[in-house]
Amino acid sequence: MNQTNQQTILVAVSDVFFYTKIRDALLPKGYRLDRVRTQSEVSEKAAAVHPAAMILNMNDATLDAFQALEQIKGSDRLKTIPILAFANHEEVETWKRAKELGVTKIVSRNEFSSRTRDLVEELLSEQPTASS
């Protein structure tokens, strides 16, 4: 194998249905998933793993997605992690606030559900490669 595809994606999605869809879309492509289940795990796991990207459910009942964004984007070490978020399309304020807090890309739940792998790959391909 001449290309490493073992990129870790931090997944802050407590909904089992959505997590399963993410897993089914990304694992066959060689991605590794690290699931965030509690608020404190957001920055802990992001710092420990330094993932290639993070997936965030803006409507999660367990995690405060806005606080998660603040934790990641407020940290000098973590703020470069690209974040793909999804939310109900009619929640205009959620979308606006997520963008203000620095989410890299936000899409509707339907688009996320139908295009998970493509969205993650687009997000990763748009990131500048670190040459340090």
- Residue 53: which region, alpha, beta or left (left: phi > 0; alpha: psi -120 to 50)? beta
pLDDT tens track for 51-63: 999 999 999 989 9
Nearest to 109 by CA among 121, 95, 96: 95
Residue 120, domain member (yes or no): yes
What CATH number has the domain bearing residue 32?
A: 3.40.50.2300
Total domain count, the chain = 1
Flag whether pLDDT at 73 surpasses 80. yes
CB 36 within 8 A of CB 11: yes
| pLDDT score of 5 more than 50 | no
130 lies in some domain: no
C-beta of residue 81 within 8 angstroms of C-beta of residue 50: yes
DSSP class of residue 114 equals H
51 and 41 in contact (C-beta within 8 Å)?
Answer: no
Question: Is residue 1 included in any domain, yes or no?
Answer: no
15-45 tens-digit pLDDT = 898 899 999 999 999 999 999 999 999 999 9
Domain that holds residue 115: 8-125
